Amino acid sequence: MATEEVHDIVIIGGGISGLALSLGLYRKGIKSLVLERSKVLRSEGAAIGVYGNGWQALDQLKVGDDLRNCSIPLTGIHYEYLTKDDKNVNRYRKELRCLRRKDLIETLARYLPAEQIRFGCHVASLGFDHRENLHVLNTHDGATIKAKVLIGCEGLHSMVAKTLQLSPPKFFPAWITRGFTTYPEGHHFGNHFFRFETGKAVYGRIPIDDKNVHFFVNIFNEPTGDISDPEVVREYTMEQLKESPSEILESVRICDMETLSMRQAAYRYPWALYHQRFRKGTMTVAGDAMHIMGPFIGQGGAAALEDAVVLTRCLSNVINAPANASSDKKWAEMVREAIDLYVKERMPRLLKLSWQSYFVGILNCNKSWLMKLVANFLLRLFFGGNSLNHALFDCGTI
């Protein structure tokens, strides 16, 4: 039988952004309901590198120290190339660690009351009840959930982003393999992020701890075969890396097949951010739903954490102010203002990250030397080339 319920704040998507936002609100004494279509917490994508800006946000959510126990600190990025003898080191003066997605997601969820996350709840359509001023969510299993405030944190194919008419995502001609490799006797890769460019592919290796490393391979030739099959992914990835040193090939060959996946790199045009509206009534977006960007500067997840901190701050200033309980209409108006503040605060930051990852994407993937030259020039001019300055950002307190 169909059921109907009403909540103050509903968040669609129990990924990094949805859980971080729900936890931020919870830390400020505000209840929300996260709807996640998977039956369990999703951890596809193996791991992510988290720089100082991400750690600052995790500390605000009071999960930083738990997560530090799951990973070792890294000193920066070491670059090597197949085609030239050059070796570069990019030292990073703040905290850099690699986190298993599973650890990150489970830790964010652990501090939330169980009833605040509803698994196996796939939102199928959205509407609005003008009489009651409520968002109406219909789920695949026939339930109807109503919400005063709706936040879309459901990633690349966000329904809320579509409702807001955000421009549809595009794809770089880049396919990214990700996985873990365990070295039971310990690895000897030190405590830095290592990148190796072959011309055809970029291999990255980030130690998580003394025995486990996360690797990714950016591949610029369209794969053939079924990339949902890990065997196909491994074979194709090794083929693309075949001229690389043996320890690189070995890390892919002996990887944990359950963690191996391949995905095409998605993004939104950075210039689309200038003229889009990220709020409609009391509905907005966060995380990839708001600003999907190529993974080339490793900032999508950290930017989602920053969103959570800023949106928590803006919403809690309104929701926790006693004078604002006076009427539903007044409350909704204050929430709309809070969302506008959130969007206004996030825009300069998201523009910078989106442009930078777009230029790096062109540098990596575009076949035209002219485009690469222009992208390189603009990267140097506006972002200091390979600089990690974008990862020194501080998004403030919740």
Ligand X SMILES: Cc1cc2nc3c(=O)[nH]c(=O)nc-3n(C[C@H](O)[C@H](O)[C@H](O)COP(=O)(O)OP(=O)(O)OC[C@H]3O[C@@H](n4cnc5c(N)ncnc54)[C@H](O)[C@@H]3O)c2cc1C
| Residue ranges in contact with ligand X by CB under 6 A | 12-18, 35-38, 42, 45, 48-49, 54, 122-123, 153-155, 159, 176, 178, 216, 263, 287-289, 295, 298-302, 304
Nearest CB to ligand X, comparing residues 105 and 315: 105
- CA gap 285, 273 in Å, rounded: 13
Distance of closest approach, residue 325 Cβ to ligand X, in angstroms? 30
Distance of closest approach, residue 261 Cβ to ligand X, in angstroms? 9
Question: DSSP 3-state assignment of 4?
Answer: strand
Distance of closest approach, residue 324 Cβ to ligand X, in angstroms? 28
Contact 329, 44 (CB under 8 A): no
- For 47, counting Cβ atoms within 10 Å of its Cβ (0-12 exposed, 13-18 middle, 19+ buried), the class is buried
Nearest CB to ligand X, comparing residues 108 and 334: 108
Q: Pairing between strand 117-118 and 33-35?
A: parallel
Nearest CB to ligand X, comparing residues 140 and 330: 140
Contact 173, 365 (CB under 8 A): yes
Residue 204's φ and ψ, nearest 5 degrees, are -125, 140
Distance of closest approach, residue 295 Cβ to ligand X, in angstroms? 3
Nearest CB to ligand X, comparing residues 7 and 334: 7
Distances 45 to 158, 170, 241, 345 between C-alpha atoms, Å = 18, 20, 20, 29
Nearest CB to ligand X, comparing residues 120 and 384: 120
Token pair in block for residue 167: 């421009």
Distance of closest approach, residue 299 Cβ to ligand X, in angstroms? 5
- CA gap 260, 234 in Å, rounded: 8
- For 4, counting Cβ atoms within 10 Å of its Cβ (0-12 exposed, 13-18 middle, 19+ buried), the class is exposed
Q: How many CA within 13 A on the CB side of residue 191?
A: 11
C-beta neighbour count of 6 within 10 angstroms: 13
Identity of the residue numbered 48 = I
Q: Pairing between strand 170-182 and 212-219?
A: antiparallel
Nearest CB to ligand X, comparing residues 4 and 185: 4
Distance of closest approach, residue 92 Cβ to ligand X, in angstroms? 13
- CA gap 302, 16 in Å, rounded: 9
Distance of closest approach, residue 41 Cβ to ligand X, in angstroms? 8
Nearest CB to ligand X, comparing residues 122 and 344: 122
Strand runs (DSSP E) across 61-106, as ranges? 76-81, 87-91, 97-100
- For 177, counting Cβ atoms within 10 Å of its Cβ (0-12 exposed, 13-18 middle, 19+ buried), the class is buried
- CA gap 206, 47 in Å, rounded: 9
Distance of closest approach, residue 244 Cβ to ligand X, in angstroms? 19
Nearest CB to ligand X, comparing residues 262 and 398: 262
Distance of closest approach, residue 383 Cβ to ligand X, in angstroms? 17
Distance of closest approach, residue 233 Cβ to ligand X, in angstroms? 12
Nearest CB to ligand X, comparing residues 262 and 319: 262
Question: DSSP 3-state assignment of 275?
Answer: helix
Contact 175, 161 (CB under 8 A): no
Nearest CB to ligand X, comparing residues 207 and 287: 287
